[in-house]
Structure formats: C-alpha cells, structure tokens
Amino acid sequence: MRKNRLRLVGVLAAALVAVVGSPAQAGHQEPTLADLAQRHGRYFGSATDNPELVDEPYKALLGSEFDQITPGNGMKWYATEPEQGVFDFSKGDEIVNLARANHQKVRGHTLVWHSQLPDWLTGREWTATELRAVLKKHIQTEVRHYRGKIYAWDVVNEAFNEDGTYRETVFYKTLGPGYIADALRWAHQADPKARLYLNDYNVEAVGPKSDAYYRLAKQLKARGVPLHGFGLQTHLALQYGYPATLEDNLRRFARLGLDTALTEVDVRMELPATEEKLAQQADWYRDMTEACLAVRRCVGITLWDYTDKYSWIPDFFPGEGAALPWDEELRPKPAYFALRQALR
C-alpha cells in the first residue's frame, strides 16, 4: 500500500514540477525545506564544493532552499595546509562568505581524517612528540581562522572500523586513541562556542561500529572532554536495506547529553533508476527525517550536495547513483516531496 502511495506521490510531484517548478523555482510561494525544518527547531542543509559555485542556477537554489552549508572538500587538510606550516583558507573562505551572505549556518568539515592528507604528512615517519605538535597546530590554526563563523565542527572523522576497532590511521598508530580527546580539547580552546562532533558512516543502526562510538562518547563525557555531538553521515544504499534502529540509536546518544545530526545524507541505487526505486528512495528520505524529528536532540539534516549533477556517488560506486532529491537538471524528484511531507 505504501509503495502505491509513493508512486502516486511521485506522479503528482512530476506533474507539479512540470507546471510550476519546485517551490524555490516558483518564487518561494511555498516554504522551503529550511523553512519547514525551522518550524521544528531544526536546520536543513546541503554540502557544496567550490567548482560548482560557478553554476548560477545551482547556486541560487543552494542559497534559497537551505539554511546550512557544509564545505565538501575546501576545509580538509590537503586544501588548508598543503605545505607544512603554510595555510590556505581560500576555498573554505569562499563557502563561508557565501553562507554568511545567505544567512546560513556552516558546519566545518573536517579537522582530523585519515584521507585527503597532504604528502608531506603521510610521506614520512613521525615521533609522537612531532605529530602531536603538527596536529595541534593544524587544528588550532584552522579553528581560530573560522572562530565565530562555524556553527559546528566535524573534529574527528571516521575513527573506527566496521567491527568497532580503531582505524589504523597515522594519528592512531603514532599517538594512540588519546588523539581524539586531544583534538576535541584543542578545537575547544580555539573556539569555545563551536559545537564539536565525531562523525562517521555506517553508524546509523545500532551495531558494532555505533556501539564503539557510544562507548567512546560515554568515556569522553565522563572525563569532561568537550564533545557536543555525534554526526551520522547517512550514506545509504537501497540494496543494503534501511537502518531500522536509527531512531533508537539517535535516542541513546541524546541520553548521553549529546546532539546528533544526519550530516552527509544520500540514498544511492543501482542504475538505472526506476519508478519503484525512486519511490523506495522517497520512503527512506521520509523515514530518516521523521526519525530525526522524533528525537529532540537531533538538530538537523544535511544532504551531501542536493543534486545528482554534483553527487560523488558515480565516481566512487560505478553503476550506482541517482542518490539525491534533485536530479541532474535541478528538478525535484519524489524524494524531495517526501522530505516536505515529513517536515510538514
């Protein structure tokens, strides 16, 4: 019954778009996703990246439909400290300035991650003393640069393996697990008002990986380490099933006194996209939004870019795609209308 209902929603949505375009395209006659989320005390955001900001129709929709932006790449280590001690914040600044012009919040992404590191950092061996100094300088220089302009930081990204063991990163291997608490403390010193998060993928359901974060968060809170939130990336795929325990998982982190957020949302599928797959995708977008709304400390949802035109999925998962609520022509898909329905 629900699938039939979704198919009808999709048909009606397509007909509506054909006549008037999306609400944002139709002169804001309808409230945006951000407007609807604000009624619940949440934000609704999108990631973006610098190369696509020359696309004016894309940029206009980014500025009107959302009230939060995450830089996809411009604040990562390879972009911000390409040479040791030489910092370049131009890409991050461009997105922060765009967000400020549009009165949007910014999530900083990301200070400590095993990927997209510059060669100078990964191409040599470090002593613990040397790497601690490098890590502290990087975190504090970047956070101080954006002090007062960043609502929240993904401080440490993807610290665990799927089985709940620590990922063997350069930071873990050289400094041990204590690098996570140090990173949070250093970021807090640099901007005491920013909300500090741990962030990862495949942590939406209750399981070994999310259990590891739950244990770590509990320990950090007990030690007075400045941790304020847990980010669930929510990169989902239709072929692997929906994380049915998402709401329960959000609740247990809230009970620790933490905010949660769905930080990098997309729902990919094996191509070609069909009416049935798009209906199922819309269902999932609705369900995850309802799960966030059901938990008071789930503070917002961020799409990992909003349009298939700029999705990362086809490059990383060949044969998959169509993951976002707008298609490559910036036309809203059934998922977009399912989001509106959930937020209403």
Catalytic residues: 158, 264
- Residues 6 or more apart in contact with residue 290 via CB below 8 angstroms: 342
- For residues 153 and 198, what is the distance between their CA atoms, to the nearest angstrom? 9
Residue 290 CA, chain-centre distance (Å), reads 17
Give the separation between CA 202 and CA 304, rounded to whole angstroms. Answer: 15
- C-alpha dihedral sign at 78, 84, 87, 88: negative
Q: How far apart are the first and last CA of the chain?
A: 21
Cα-trace Rg, the chain: 20
Each residue of 308-340: b (16+ CB within 10 Å) or e?
Answer: bbbbbbeeebeebbbbbbbbeebbbbbbbbbbb
Is the distance from CB of 281 to CB of 325 less than 8 angstroms? no
Q: Three-class SS of residue 234?
A: coil
Helix (H) / strand (E) containing 263: strand 259-270
Give yes or no for a contact between 269 and 299, defined as CB atoms under 8 angstroms apart: no
The token pair at 91 is: 């890409």
Structure tokens at 279: 């209906």
